Structure 1
Amino acid sequence: MNSDALETQLKQFGLSEKEIKTYLTILENGEAKASTIADDTGVSKRYVYSICEKLEERGFVEVDDHVVPTKIRAKHPEDVIELLSGRLEEIGPALKQRFSETSSRPQRFDVIKSRVTVIKRLREYINSAEQELMVAVPQGYLPEVAAELSTAVERGVMVLLLVSDVDDPEAVLDGVESPVGSVVRVWNQGMPILLAADEQLGIASPAEMVTRANSDDRAIALVQGQIVPIIAGSFLANYWPFAEELYITDPVELPQSYRSFRHAVLQATLHDHAEATIHARATAQPVTADGEFETIQGTIVETRQGLVEPRTNTIPIEHTLVVETEDRTISIGGPDSFLEDYEARKVTLEHEE
């Protein structure tokens, strides 16, 4: 790396041009007097002391003012590299917290005209899910996506599966070797085919698109962070509460961290049903202000949810952890909450010690 490239890289760590020239001069000499540095950099001796104090604060040099004249010593490059790497690791969680995953996905809106494409897109979006997945399909077409649903469950995705057009609930999972959902419900009524994955990927299709040959109906597939939550809300409010619960997964081993708040609520509820006392640590901010995120810790004393029976929420979209901290009891919801005291970006669940 030549001098220009090295200077450019050092600027990335917030050093000014004069600080860089001073630091490189000290590096080349290993140890130098302020007067030597002043001669090499063309700045005053007094200013050299000021710059070197800043470099010392940053961890690049050591200023030995116990000798006369004062000596400025470059720290070993390996120590500086380790220091800079540590600082990058420290800011990593904050960067990840502020990063919006929606910005990394190109927005897309497709009109689908064929059954084959509907099934293909269902499989594609199920395979893309990383945190949570809501799917509604007719019973006759569950085998078309069963393998993909099982794989999603295996990789830790919360899968809410609603199977419609069911005549015999006991036969729905016949021939299915692995769990196809974290929670599975069945309904004897017909309903649209719906999918909402990670609040980013969505599908809405009339059931006739896959159940009837030569249908003139059209389906919609979209990658759109503003619209997919509407599909998820419709799924949870208009269909899920009226379906019969067929299967519920066992609670997972803790500790576990969740960016899907609903998944955290589901697991907290399952552990509560198993009479376990669970501790929550949430990265959250008050819903009434755009303040700094803080860490809230405490014992979960209640969950309000409609993911599994018995339902404990007052409206279908309410999914809440009620946490008792050292000095108060607060309610925590997911991103963009308005019913709770805090909205959380990440939740870690662990057994109470």
Structure 2
Amino acid sequence: MDESTLVDLLGRFGFSDKEIDTYLTLLAHGEATASQIADAAGVSKRYVYSVGETLEKRGFAEVNDHVVPTVIRAKPPEEVIENLQSDVEAMRPGLTERYAEVEPTAEQFEVVKSRVTVLKRIRTLIDEAETELVLSLPLSYLPDVREELSDAVDRGVLVLLIASDVDDPSELADTLPELGEIASVTRTWSEPMPTMLAVDSRIGVLAPMEMLVRSNSDRQAIVFTQEQLGPVIVGSFLGNYWPVAEEVAVVDPAPLPRTFSDFRHAVLQATRHLRAGTDLRASVEGRTTADDEPTSIEGRVVDVTQGLIVPANNEFPVEHSLTLETEDGTVTVGGPGAFVEDVEASDVTLLTG
């Protein structure tokens, strides 16, 4: 090993360049007086005493001040290395206990220029969905994501789908006859619209309509991984496009009991069951919006406010709530960010009777 590499390695233990020069001088002598080391290293005798104390504390040397003059002896390298290894191993439990393993932070935005890459990103993100996804895509590209959408529905994900650029809704049935298997609710729109995907309100894709519809488009898409942006995309999807699209398929009511961590999914299923005449109850875990206290409530579902399926009865696009008749009276329940309702739900269990 050349000297520059050795100096660099010793520097990682917190030694200054001057301390390293003094220590290497001591190693070359094995044992020497402070005066001898000072002369060889080109430093003061006082400084050698100071460095000697530092080297002794760190296990690199021994200082014998019971003799005159004081003698400093370098410890054998094997002993020094063994002590360092013991110190490192001693640190392991403490370091491991305090270490929080996290995934590397992803870039918040990725610019995508290729149509093929956009579709690949959409398929990948659909596969990652855990609770909810909203998607708008030209009809001609739906077969490319059919399998991923079907798997998401099977996992219990709420899938809200708009097939755009559809002149006749019957085209959708011809292209994808299994509509009930690829989405919870499917709508069509005759106009081209931006391709939008938001997964679990935290990650997704935005692509201008020209990018997928026109073969010669030079427009670019954005893949985002920003939790603040996700709800905005979902709000735009439900507020600007969902109401004008035509409903063509709705999933059947789910078998009960079932617990939903996605509030809109609970609202959709509650609506389907109430319209089917089910005597429906709900158990809700969440917090009170008045004083932000944890709460658990249970009661009969007597009303639903929603805009997911027709006919809608909400006053604004993202308004979704359940009304429960409990032993303590009527309680309104909303989803994340609720402030008008009495309770903000984190989990909703729907059950019969």
Is the TM-score greater than 0.5?
A: yes
1:329 matched residue in structure 2: 330
Establish whether residue 215 from structure 1 lines up as the match of residue 247 from structure 2.
Answer: no
Structure 2: unaligned runs, 5 residues or longer: 1-101
Q: SS of 1:263's equivalent?
A: helix
2:194 matched residue in structure 1: 192
TM-fit CA distance, 1:103:
9.4
**How far does the alpha carbon of each residue in 1:47-85 deviate from its partner, in whole angstroms, 9 at most, with x for none?**
xxxxxxxxxxxxxxxxxxxxxxxxxxxxxxxxxxxxxxx
Structure 2: which amino acid aligns with 1:204? L
For 1:312 and 1:175, the matched residues in 2 are separated by 31
Structure 1: which amino acid aligns with 2:298? Q
The correspondence for 1:256, drawn from 238, 258, 268, is 258
Establish whether residue 121 from structure 1 lines up as the match of residue 121 from structure 2.
Answer: yes
Contact 1:137–1:194 (Cα < 8 Å) also in 2: yes
Structure 1: which amino acid aligns with 2:132? E
For 2:105 and 2:236, the matched residues in 1 are separated by 23
Structure 2: which amino acid aligns with 1:224? Q
1:160 matched residue in structure 2: 160
For 1:231 and 1:216, the matched residues in 2 are separated by 23
1:142 matched residue in structure 2: 142
Structure 2 counterparts to residues 1-353 of structure 1, below 5 A: 106=106, 108-176=108-176, 178=178, 179-291=181-293, 293-352=294-353
For 1:220 and 1:333, the matched residues in 2 are separated by 31
TM-fit CA distance, 1:143:
1.2
Q: SS of 2:182's equivalent?
A: coil
TM-fit CA distance, 1:108:
2.5
TM normalised by structure 1 equals 0.68
TM-fit CA distance, 1:285:
1.0
Report sequence identity in percent: 47
**How far does the alpha carbon of each residue in 1:267-294 deviate from its partner, in whole angstroms, 9 at most, with x for none?**
0000011011111111111223332x11
Structure showing greater radius of gyration is 2
Root-mean-square deviation (CA), in Å? 1.7
Q: CA 1:318 to 1:345, structure 2 compared with 1: closer, same or farther past 3 Å? A: same
Contact 1:287–1:336 (Cα < 8 Å) also in 2: no
Contact 1:268–1:349 (Cα < 8 Å) also in 2: yes
Contact 2:165–2:192 (Cα < 8 Å) also in 1: yes
> Which stretch of the first structure deviates more once superposed, 140-149 or 300-309?
140-149
Contact 1:105–1:223 (Cα < 8 Å) also in 2: no
Structure 1: unaligned runs, 5 residues or longer: 1-101
> Aligned pairs, how many?
250
TM normalised by structure 2 equals 0.68
Structure 2: which amino acid aligns with 1:323? L
